[in-house]
Amino acid sequence: VIILASAFAILGEVYGDLLRAAGATERLMELLGTQSPITSPQKPVLSPMPAAGSAIQFEAVTFHYPSRPDTPALAGFSLDIHPGQTVAIVGPSGAGKSTVFQLLLRFYDPQSGNIVLYGTNTRELSLEALRQRIGIVPQDAVIFSSSALENIRYGRPDATDEEVKAAAHAAFAHEFISDLPQGYDTFLGERGLRLSGGQRQRIAIARAMLKNPPLLLLDEATSALDAESERMVQAALESAMRDRTTLVVAHRLATVQKADRILVLDHGQLVEQGTHAELVALGGIYAGLAALQFNV
Ligand code: ATP
């Protein structure tokens, strides 16, 4: 029981990082002697990534969590994102925004509909290949008890020190790391130096940039940062989104204003879509949300 409790504590600790959590969940399932229902196909498709066509498609996806069979988290949800586009998802709490990410990463399979990555159904890809193509910047990045260098290297364990530092530069993290007492060797985490929210976010962005995936899932933080931190995080995110297909659960005005398209989710359904200006002019759910959240 103690081992399990600590395993759950570890799971909780890394929850923000869905990729690590996925590995932990699989190991936990093994420990418990149960099989995760999500497995790699016997003969996975080695899908090339065509430059043209859609990057991500959800085709009439309906899904309920196993524990809540009567409440669909997504109902007949479709989306189509082209390579290089930035699409923002907004909607009230419980609308299904995080569920879109969970399904895309195949932590669950939908009860009906398809999720297609570069023309291949995600069920036909190996879980490893699928998750390698996707980078995640969670709301609240987990900082491990190790150096700043190792904390970023976690994004791609075989990266050289130079590659780690280049990613830190690109994520606007180099300057603050250089100013730490031992620079990149400074010990972070619970028993080390504590970072601010904005600094933790830039570590998470640096990890994702080091991994260099074609798709980026961004769960924007809701907590307010001071103006300087805000500016740096925004610059880091813009640098990470450049030349990548990005799906972002958006909480910031700057993000929705720059998105190619905004999807508005409500009770698991896509209720509106368009640009910020189009949706404000429409005067519907988005306009109401934007007035509350972004003061427009
Ligand atoms: P928030 O903005 O609060 O994060 P969200 O839009 O991301 O909300 P989801 O987390 O996708 O919403 O949740 C969609 C629905 O599914 C909600 O009704 C939620 O309670 C439910 N749900 C989410 N995760 C689980 C889970 N692991 N098990 C059962 N139900 C869940």
Helix (H) or strand (E) holding 102: helix 97-104
DSSP letter string, 195-214: PPHHHHHHHHHHHHHHH--S
Distances (CA, A) of 144 to 111, 179, 187, 205: 36, 19, 9, 15
Residue nearest to atom 4 of ligand 1 (CA): 93
Which conformational region is residue 148 in: left (phi greater than 0), alpha (psi within -120 to 50 degrees), or beta? alpha
pLDDT at 14: 43
Find out whether 57 and 119 touch, Cβ atoms under 8 Å: no
Counting from 1 in the atom list of ligand 1, the atom nearest the Cα of 71 is: 18
Q: Residue 140: which pLDDT band, with cuts at 50, 70 and 90?
A: confident
pLDDT at 15: 40
How many Cα atoms occupy the beta-carbon half-sphere of 24 within 13 Å? Answer: 17
Answer whether residue 10 shows pLDDT above 50. Answer: no
Q: Is the CB of 73 under 6 A from ligand 1?
A: yes
Q: Is the CB of 16 under 6 A from ligand 1?
A: no
Residue nearest to atom 20 of ligand 1 (CA): 94
Test site for ligand 1: of 97, 100, 104, most ligand atoms within 8 A of the Cβ: 97
Distances (CA, A) of 24 to 13, 35, 110, 196: 11, 13, 22, 27
pLDDT at 133: 92
Query: Which residue type is seen at 80?
Result: D
Answer whether residue 89 shows pLDDT above 90. Answer: yes
Residue nearest to atom 10 of ligand 1 (CA): 98
Could you give the ipTM of this predicted complex?
A: 0.97
What sections of the chain are H helices per DSSP?
A: 2-13, 18-32, 97-104, 127-132, 148-153, 161-170, 174-178, 197-211, 227-241, 253-258, 276-282, 285-294
CA 275 to chain centre: 21
Q: What angle do CA 152, 154, 157 make, to 5 degrees?
A: 115
Q: What is the pTM assigned to this prediction?
A: 0.85
- At 266-276, the pLDDT tens digits run 999 999 999 99
- Lowest-confidence region among 43-47, 144-148, 204-208, 283-287: 43-47
The DSSP letter of residue 142 is -
pLDDT at 56: 95
Q: Residue 252: which pLDDT band, with cuts at 50, 70 and 90?
A: confident
pLDDT at 9: 43
* Beta strands 215-219 and 134-137, pairing class: parallel
